[in-house]
Structure 1
Amino acid sequence: MRMRYKPWATKELDACPFFIRHPEQYLGKWHSLFPRSQPVELELGCGKGLFLAALAPANPQVNYIGVDLKDTVLGPAKRNLEAAYREAGREPDNIILTAMNIERIADSMGPEDTVQRIYINFCNPWPKKKHHKRRLTHPRQLENYKKILVPGGEIAFKTDDDDLFADTLEYLAESGFVVTEKTYDLRALNRPDDIPTEHELMFVERGIKIKALWAKLA
């Protein structure tokens, strides 16, 4: 989904205490950006931030990092997060937003920047075979994630795309991950910890079943 240009986003993000402008400058230093030393979870492709806005204020015992490609997206994410923290009566002290090309995440995050869990929600399926290497669940990317996941760390993945889901199951096995749970109809599970994303609600309204899996690094 293409986001419209937000002329206000750059100025607001530059003034935002939880936005990082040049993530490559923090290679090996992400943990130091949080006031409390505690587990870190990472969302790749956080979009408008609605998933993290529901998750981060409710879990102060976890630090969160939200990544997307451009300020165009992260401007609304910043506003949504601020609103969620105000409603929770808390300061946004366990959240960081940053813009980066996720295909080059290794330039900005390394083995010192350990995370417990990586969320990948409704990423671009890149259906053409020649573009498969650009998928966020492709083995080329999974090898990068393995460098920052703690032993036994987890990937949580959701998609509406059948082919991407089937291929991702193969990618994970190829890269040494063990799928601990999977479903071809997430809504039927009624998981109490599930937080619907903007895309998820849109697809459900259209009658499209959501595929999801949870995989651990062996």
Structure 2
Amino acid sequence: MRVKHKPWAKDKLLAHPEICVQNPTELKGNWHTVFGNHHPIHIEIGSGKGQFISGMAKQNERINYIGIEVVESVLVLALDKALAADVKNLRLLAVDGGNLTDYFSPDEIERIYLNFSDPWPKKRHTKRRLTNPRFLTIYQHLLPQSGEIHFKTDNRGLFEYTLQAFSEYGLLLQYVSLDLHQSQFEDNIMTEYEEKFSKQGYPIYRLEASFKAN
């Protein structure tokens, strides 16, 4: 994602501590105190400009959402959407999604969303893909046995790789769509990329998966 650097982004994020959490490591195991309830917590890794996570928070008031985006110049756009949505069940983190265990305890989150992640198409970059087994190990450590991973992409190569990686890791594939917008799936919240690519006629691939009970 190429985004113009916004030197004022950090200051704007700091100006909204009610949404942008500054010290997430201090909240590990205690995120319910931030939201003031014990509702389920869903996180999105790579929230981009925030259309999806804000839309989900507005649609599901009894679920708490956390959007993770490492680029502050992008996260500030997600902040604008969160403010416009006027939701109380959404927080944003400007951190690296590869360090989730620094911020969350096991079983503290119930669902992970991976939407239009960087496909890292070159073979030497395979380990950077968010559906690579090294990331799946992190997700398995954090999610309860009933926890789920929801994945969407326009990239067929990444989707095929993800299907294989999930299957080989032992995840249960609960829902697979090769053309989401032509399916019967309801209440879909689109990301900015999803809108762009679907308007261009590209199919959107989607799957849901969970880890097998021990």
TM range (shorter): over 0.9
For residues 159 and 199 of structure 1, the distance between their equivalents in structure 2, rounded to whole angstroms, comes to 9
User: Deviation of residue 107 (structure 1)?
Assistant: 2.4
CA-based RMSD of the aligned residues comes to 1.4
Report how many residues are paired: 211
For residues 100 and 22 of structure 2, the distance between their equivalents in structure 1, rounded to whole angstroms, comes to 14
The answer to whether residue 38 in structure 2 is matched with residue 47 in structure 1 is no
- Which amino acid in structure 2 is aligned with residue 11 of structure 1? D
| Counterpart in the other structure of 2:98 | 103
The answer to whether residue 2 in structure 2 is matched with residue 2 in structure 1 is yes
For residues 54 and 110 of structure 1, the distance between their equivalents in structure 2, rounded to whole angstroms, comes to 26
1:10-159 correspondence runs (5 A): 10-16=10-16, 17-85=18-86, 92-111=87-106, 114-159=108-153
User: Deviation of residue 216 (structure 1)?
Assistant: 1.6
C-alpha offsets along residues 55-93 of structure 1, whole Å, 9 cap, x if unaligned? 1022111110100112111111111111012xxxxxx32
- Which amino acid in structure 2 is aligned with residue 15 of structure 1? A
For residues 142 and 33 of structure 2, the distance between their equivalents in structure 1, rounded to whole angstroms, comes to 15
Moved over 6 A (4+): none
Residue 176 of structure 1: which of 170, 179, 182 is its match? 170
For residues 84 and 170 of structure 1, the distance between their equivalents in structure 2, rounded to whole angstroms, comes to 37
Gaps of at least 5 residues in structure 2 are: none
- Which amino acid in structure 2 is aligned with residue 137 of structure 1? T
Higher percent of residues as strand: 1
Q: Secondary structure at the match of 1:212?
A: strand
For residues 137 and 32 of structure 2, the distance between their equivalents in structure 1, rounded to whole angstroms, comes to 21
Contact 2:116 2:193 in 1 (8 A): yes
Contact 2:101 2:142 in 1 (8 A): no
Contact 2:111 2:148 in 1 (8 A): yes
User: Deviation of residue 29 (structure 1)?
Assistant: 2.6
- Which amino acid in structure 2 is aligned with residue 97 of structure 1? L
Contact 2:69 2:93 in 1 (8 A): yes
For residues 7 and 130 of structure 1, the distance between their equivalents in structure 2, rounded to whole angstroms, comes to 32
Gaps of at least 5 residues in structure 1 are: 86-91
TM (norm. structure 1) is 0.92
For residues 128 and 32 of structure 2, the distance between their equivalents in structure 1, rounded to whole angstroms, comes to 28
Contact 1:23 1:99 in 2 (8 A): no
| More off after superposition, 64-73 vs 97-106 | 97-106
